[in-house]
Structure 1
């Protein structure tokens, strides 16, 4: 089911707040951290926020536009949906874990995890 803008915003806000709390905990636990240490922590948080945001929006894409059954690359027959599969994807902003529909061709016995 498609998530509303408000639901996505709330999930992203909660994740961001959790990451902010973690960097504040780190800051309080480290007396007089150097500029390099602070920058490293901030960059780590920035990366995590970016990955989480991208992952949430990519995941929401399929709910907005459910994919039509693809044709088998080998025999060109319509493939059948076999549920969802989880896949780790390396993108520009790092590794994300997404779920997408998995398709199977009963004729060729080949599976397909559509790109997103």
Structure 2
């Protein structure tokens, strides 16, 4: 996690909010609240993405002795199929892109990004 990036992003968002407010001097409280919330979701998405990327579970199957996740149906260890990107939608509507090890069940051949 890069706190410097978070601080830069947060500072940029605060500057944008101030500029928006100057450009909209008659905005209502609700309009200001909506604009601030929309912009803060950008920071939330970045922090969420960085926190998720810092998880040890993103690179399962690459460390000797580390158990692989199991298939939720067959309960057998998954086979790692390399790193792939997965894009999720955060609560605020912002996209969060994660790099994760993709896995396939050797029994049922189902594939997914564990852990779910």
* Deviation at residue 111 of structure 1 after TM alignment: 0.8
Match for residue 97 of structure 2? Answer: 98
SS state at 1:103 partner: strand
CA distance in 2, matches of 1:89, 1:22: 23
Provide the C-alpha distance between the structure 1 equivalents of 2:59 and 2:77, rounded to a whole number of angstroms. 19
Map residues 6-45 of structure 1 onto 2, 5 A cutoff. Answer: 8-45=2-39
Gaps of 5+ in 1: none
Name the residue aligned to 1:88: 88
What is the total number of aligned residue pairs between the two structures? Answer: 108
**What is the distance in 2 between the residues matched to 1:96 and 1:80?**
25
- Between stretches 38-47 and 13-22, larger displacement belongs to 38-47
Structure-to-structure mapping, 1:40-79, within 5 angstroms = 40-62=34-56, 66-67=59-60, 68-72=67-71, 73-74=73-74, 76-79=76-79
Corresponding position of 2:113: 113
CA distance in 2, matches of 1:44, 1:90: 12
SS in 2 for 1:33: coil
TM-score, normalised to structure 2's length? 0.67
| Shift, 1:113, TM fit | 0.9
Verify the 8 A CA contact 2:80 2:101 in the aligned structure 1: no
Root-mean-square deviation over aligned CA pairs: 2.9
